[in-house]
Copies of this chain bind each other. A is one copy, B any other.
Amino acid sequence: MTLEQSEYPCPIERTIQTIGGKWTFLILRNMFQGENRFNQLQRNLDGISPRTLSLRLKELEQANIIIRNVFPETPPRVEYHLTEKGEELRPIFVTMKTWGNKWEIMKP
């Protein structure tokens, strides 16, 4: 690999390592909008497969960006919530939204 140095020295690189996946970004965007259940996310994420959604959620949980909460009911219910660390990603998304709104596709 190209990253075997002692650690990720650059904070931007660290951030991208954590949330930079194709789906990860979109999952977080939806969570910032209040969605927190598995099916709810899956429905609103343009047909993401359960496999991928599950994998990404686990990654985010391991990075302490979200917390997984299981309710022992039938049918089972699981809610995902942003931690403080996750919540503080919000400015990144706000900035992206601003930029995306200003510069539409192919607009010079």
Please tell me if the beta carbons of B92 and A15 are within 8 angstroms of each other in the complex: no
A72 at the interface (CB under 8 A from B): no
> Min CB distance, A3 to chain B, in Å?
7
Q: 1/0 per position for A1-44, CB-CB distance to B under 8 A?
A: 01100011011111110001010011001000000000000000
Within A79-108, the residues touching B (CB, 8 Å) are: 83, 85, 88-89, 91-93, 95-108
Number of interface residues of A (CB under 8 A): 42
Contacting residue for A96 out of B8, B16, B101, B107, CB 8 A: B16
Contacting residue for A29 out of B12, B25, B63, B106, CB 8 A: B12
In the complex formed, the residue of B with least CB distance to A1 is: B46
Within 8 Å CB of A91, what residues of B?
Answer: 95, 98-99
Q: Which 5 A-B pairs have the closest CB atoms?
A: A11-B100, A15-B100, A2-B46, A15-B96, A14-B100
